[in-house]
Amino acid sequence: MSSATLVSPPPAPGAPLTKKALTADHPTWCPGCGDFAVLASFYRALEKLQYPHEKIVTFAGIGCSSRFPYFVNTHGGHFIHGRALPFSAGISLGNDDLHVFVFGGDGDGFSIGGNHLVHTARKNPNLTYVIMDNSVYGLTKKQTSPTSPIGFKSKTDPWGAIDQPINPMRTLLNSGATFIARSHATQVNHMTEMMLRAAKHKGFSVVEILSECVEFFEGAFDAAIPRKGGSWKLVDEKKHDGSPEDANRHDVTDEVAAFKLASESWPGSFGVFYETNQRKTKNELEADIIAKAKERTKGATDLQVLQSTFAKLR
Amino acid sequence: MVSPNTPETQGGSAGSASAPRSIQDVVIRLAGNSQDGIQSIGGFLARLAGRSDQDVMTYMTIPSTISGGPSIFQVRMGTGDILSAGDRSDMLVAFYQHSYDAHISSLRPGGVLLYDSDHVTPNAEDKRFTQIAVPITTGTVEAVGGTSKDKGKNIYVLGVIARIFDLDVQKLATLIKERFGGKNEDVVRNAMLAFDAGYAWPQNNLSDLFYRFDAVEKAAIATGRPQVTLDGNTAIAYGLLTAGVRHGAGYPITPWSSIMETLRTELPKYGGIFVQCEDEIAAISTALGFSFTGNLAITGSSGPGLSLKMEALGWATMAEMPLIVVNVQRGGPSTGMPTNVEQSDLMQAIYGSHGDTPRVVLAPKNVEDCYYIAIEACRIAREYSTPVLILTDQGLSSRIEVFEEPDLAKLMQKPGADLSDRPATFKPYPLDAITHHAPAGSKVLTGKYPTVTGLEHDEMGHPTGSSKLHTQMNAKRREKIKTLAASLPAPELNGDSAGEVLLVTWGSTWGPAKEALVRVRAAGIKAGHLHIRHVHPLPNGLEEIFKRYHKIVVAELNDEGVYGFGQFATMLRGRYANPAIVSVAKTDGLSFKVSELVAGVAKHIESTALDATLATSRPSALAAR
Ligand SMILES: Cc1ncc(C[n+]2csc(CCOP(=O)(O)OP(=O)(O)O)c2C)c(N)n1
Ligand code: SF4
Ligand SMILES: [Mg+2]
């Protein structure tokens, strides 16, 4: 019944955090689902990052992809559909020491949670968000999603989708996310690299991963799989080496260039589209407000502050 | 020393033609436009009450606050317990003709109409009242002069009132200085000029209109703590700060907004954070995220916003996450009457959301209780790992009351998450104990970390489809609320402990109901008043109390519904299956008047004496004798 009976001996203090220690329930995804590879990459990224185990948080909304936290042995949670981002902002702001990772699907992130995505990007809390985009509603079994291409035949559009799909990269750029990358679930090394860079970014970092739903949208991302005749094109990032070729490479701090990348025709490029370190995180901005307030109260204790507040009410 | 032209007779009857008449309390209704600052007259009187040796208290309502439009402010001050705003007024101060027209009917026979003779022409034939023409506008302009025009009329009127009721001028002057002291010197000087001119007017013109509040024996105050003056929303915010809440999130909506504004401003001084979110769903989600880190958090809203929080509230019950949700009720449904009072969110607060979601709902009875209930809510949320709703209302939110300063040093709680290591026996959802989460950041010594979840789960938080576990976990979530119920104190019962009728109230109806009880019993009826603060779960033992009365009259500010019973009455009937439970409900957007409650009781019992009480209209305390 409960896996509490299957407790493995706790890792020795100071032992490195391994995939074994990070593994929890066996994933319930369909065999062949792209999400397995995303999970594998996340383990790898965590093995590289070596954060203290108790300081990692894996969090999600609702969807196939959002089952993620059950499969990762860290503090974690499975919230309601579309609202994982504001919850996770609370986690990040509630304890600045934590490393917060949020996982979810395209419906969770761009449809029901669309407004939260915009506002989380605006606020820039320190956390990493991985969107596992399969361009379909997987858990509810094949309805049109906000990234389903026009013409995609779903149970809610049996004749083919008619509504213009969202362009995730443009949406994220527009919202003001401070780190935006794109990857593909068939590219484990690339995914791991993107997750690592996202985790190290200070602020709201987003990685959109095209992750195929073999059950309801088979072949959705073949156009970017070389062995299926597609093209895998990486973002050619500026190396700042002064070479003549470098002038034509992509500057990740250049928002206009990022928009250009985001507007390429399908399947487009993969890699970091945009990153800025010019904006303070919400965590820092709130800390600034606290520091200023404390300066004004000259280090008074909580009780002294409250007492002086009540004194003004006499 | 107050100002160059301080009246010599300040604060006393010396030199006055007649001695002041003694009164117990007075209800003054100030009617004007919202930009006239009539609310600040009330603010000054309330503050004065708080600082007064005479134990004067005030109680106020702001029925309409549309900016720029007509506005009224009612203040009742006197000695002893002031429990309600007063049904009708003893004095009407009318700034404009429309103020006079709309509010003259609120004046008790024998009351005093004080009007601005520059703007109002009253019906000279109307002999029911003492009519007093005061040139409020020209008086203010003359006193202050310069370019400020009639700005300061409110302070002029404060002066008039101070003289008529023999208020402590020194203390009022201090309050005026404190209030305007931050601005430039001219502002304070102009205010004092207006005040003195107002004070001098009755002295020179109406020496017979002169009252003083009874000096009552002050109950020995053992604590020696001073009185404080604040509104219900502020009291809730300070209660939360006292209880160690350092995190919150919200979205603006009247009348909740001032709580979030206060917390946003105050929390940084305590090292805390309040986030303004994109909507109410994000707000409760962010608050739950804070709680997940071990920092009990607060979110809140009013009616429509509470509806938006319902899905996440269901999660909070399922995941057993402590959380404080404040709901400041207003007239509904939908946008309804956003600046009026109602108690129509009760069912939503208790039963809203999907599935079976046992949770805790507390309702404060007055402003002081707003403070203490906030502290209690935090204790319950932490002890039982549950969402707790504080169900207050528009009336309490803006009403200013005076009460003894809480014992802050004793009540202040240390904030912070418990991030200590969790032993190998740790389970997030033990079937044989109340959940206490291991917050993110705490080490679990088995090396197995918990998942908090909205899916049905086993003791470790793993999802399950087991019918047995769903039944067991539903019982776990229910039983802890029953454990809480068993620990609750018996509710406050006043009056006769058995008899003809028991008046049952919750929330802000406490004050008028306490007054109504006095009147009902004065008519010779054996009656009690039971006030319930813990509206869900109910304290144990109420059926025993109910059995002792022939009729149980439940009074509340919501609709009688399709079946003829208000929301709380419906609940109590369902809970106790007692047909003696009847309902008095109304939705006019105003707090209960004492007379309405007495009439409500009269409707359900046979009593000619009570009917007679209702038929007589009591003359004003100010009436000439
Ligand atoms: C409030 C609410 N509405 C609808 C649902 C049903 N629902 C669950 S998951 C889902 C969509 C899942 O799609 P996506 O987010 O793309 O995740 P995927 O399953 O494709 O990984 C929906 C509509 C729900 N759980 N909650
Ligand atoms: S339904 Fe699709 S998204 Fe869901 S687990 Fe199966 S393959 Fe993956
Ligand atoms: Mg999807």
Q: What is the pLDDT of residue B218?
A: 54
Task: Grade residue B6 by pLDDT with cuts at 50, 70 and 90.
Answer: very low
pTM (2 d.p.): 0.94
In this predicted model, what pLDDT tens digit does every residue of A151-168 receive, in sequence order?
Answer: 999 999 999 999 999 999
* Sign of the dihedral defined by the CA atoms of residues B425, B429, B433, B437, in that order: positive
Q: Find the helix packing angle between B153-164 and B136-144, rounded to 10°.
A: 110
Contact A75 B229 (CB under 8 A): no
Is residue B422 pLDDT above 60, yes or no? yes
In this predicted model, what pLDDT tens digit does every residue of B45-79 receive, in sequence order?
Answer: 888 887 875 555 566 655 444 456 788 888 888 87
- The dihedrals phi and psi of B529, each to the nearest 5 degrees, come to -130, 120
Tell me which residue of B437, B273, B263 sits closest to A93, measured CA to CA: B273
Contact B438 A309 (CB under 8 A): no
Q: Please name the residue of chain A whose CA is at the shortest distance from the CA of residue B47.
A: A314
Tell me which residue of B302, B318, B306 sits closest to B355, measured CA to CA: B318
Among the listed ranges B63-77, B194-208, B433-447, B590-604, which one has the minimum average pLDDT value? B63-77
Ligand 2 centre to CA of A64 (Å) is 6
The span from the CA of A61 to the CA of A157, in Å, is 25
Contact A89 B289 (CB under 8 A): yes
Which residues in chain A are contacts of B242 at CB distance < 8 A?
Answer: 306
Is residue B100 pLDDT above 80, yes or no? yes
Which is the closest atom of ligand 1 to the Cα of A145?
16
Q: What is the pLDDT of residue A217?
A: 98
In this predicted model, what pLDDT tens digit does every residue of B511-541 receive, in sequence order?
Answer: 999 999 999 999 999 999 999 999 999 999 9
In the predicted model, what is the mean pLDDT of residues A283-297?
A: 97
Question: Which residues have CB under 6 Å of ligand 2?
Answer: A 29-30, 33, 35, 64, 134, 138, 213-216
Task: Grade residue B9 by pLDDT with cuts at 50, 70 and 90.
Answer: very low
Q: What is the pLDDT of residue B216?
A: 64
- Most confidently modeled range among A182-196, B27-41, B390-404, B601-615: A182-196
Least CB-CB distance to A94: which of B289, B405, B444?
A: B289
Q: What is the pLDDT of residue B87?
A: 84
* Chain A contact present for B403, CB below 8 A: no
Which is the closest atom of ligand 1 to the Cα of A132?
21
Buried b (16+ CB within 10 A) or exposed e, B305-329: bbbbbbbbbbbbbbbbbbbbbbbbb
Q: For the residues of B568-586, what is the DSSP string, one character each?
A: HHHHHHHHH--TTEEEEE-
* Chain B contact present for A295, CB below 8 A: no
* Chain B contact present for A102, CB below 8 A: no
Contact B290 A94 (CB under 8 A): yes
Q: What is the pLDDT of residue B183?
A: 67
In this predicted model, what pLDDT tens digit does every residue of A59-103 receive, in sequence order?
Answer: 999 999 999 999 999 999 999 999 999 999 999 999 999 999 999
Residue B490 pairs in a beta bridge with none
DSSP one-letter code for B223 = S
Of chain B, the percentage scoring pLDDT greater than 70 comes to 92
In this predicted model, what pLDDT tens digit does every residue of B489-512 receive, in sequence order?
Answer: 999 999 999 999 999 999 999 999
For residue A269, give Cα distances in angstroms to A65, B332, B408, B424, B464. Answer: 23, 52, 61, 48, 41
Tell me which residue of B284, B472, B522 sits closest to B387, measured CA to CA: B284
The span from the CA of B45 to the CA of B77, in Å, is 8
Q: What is the 3-state secondary structure (H, E, C) of A290-301?
A: HHHHHHHCCCCC
Which residues in chain B are contacts of A283 at CB distance < 8 A?
Answer: none
Least CB-CB distance to A88: which of B273, B278, B289?
A: B289
CATH number of B492-614: 3.40.50.920
Least CB-CB distance to A86: which of B270, B286, B463?
A: B286
Tokens at A314, concatenated? 């006499």
Which residue has a Cα nearest atom 3 of ligand 1?
A: A81
Of chain A, the percentage scoring pLDDT greater than 90 comes to 95
In the predicted model, what is the mean pLDDT of residues B354-381?
A: 97
* Chain B contact present for A103, CB below 8 A: no
Q: Kindly report, as residue ranges, where domains of CATH 3.40.920.10 are found in chain B.
A: 7-220
The span from the CA of A96 to the CA of B419, in Å, is 13
Judged by DSSP in three states, B145 sits in coil
Least CB-CB distance to A314: which of B51, B272, B439?
A: B51
Which is the closest atom of ligand 2 to the Cα of A32?
7
In the predicted model, what is the mean pLDDT of residues B424-438?
A: 97
Q: Kindly report, as residue ranges, where domains of CATH 3.40.50.920 are found in chain B.
A: 492-614
Q: Measure the CA dihedral B79/B81/B82/B83, to 10°.
A: -170
Q: Kindly report, as residue ranges, where domains of CATH 3.40.50.970 are found in chain B.
A: 231-409
Cβ under 8 Å to A: B residues 266-285: 266, 268-273, 275, 277-279, 281-283, 285
CATH number of B7-220: 3.40.920.10
Q: What is the pLDDT of residue B186?
A: 84
Q: What is the pLDDT of residue B54?
A: 54
- The dihedrals phi and psi of B305, each to the nearest 5 degrees, come to -70, -35
Q: Please name the residue of chain A whose CA is at the shortest distance from the CA of residue B250.
A: A86
Which is the closest atom of ligand 1 to the Cα of A81?
26
Of residues B210 and B374, the one with the higher pLDDT is B374
In the predicted model, what is the mean pLDDT of residues B291-316?
A: 98
Q: What is the pLDDT of residue B616?
A: 83
In this predicted model, what pLDDT tens digit does every residue of A245-254 receive, in sequence order?
Answer: 999 999 999 9
* Chain A contact present for B125, CB below 8 A: no
B60: number of CA atoms within 13 Å, CB side? 30
CATH class of this structure's domain B231-409:
alpha beta
What average pLDDT is seen over chain A? 95
| Nearest-neighbour CA in chain B from A277: distance (Å) | 23
**Domains in chain A: ranges and CATH:** 15-279 (3.40.50.970), 281-314 (no CATH)
In the predicted model, what is the mean pLDDT of residues B565-581?
A: 98
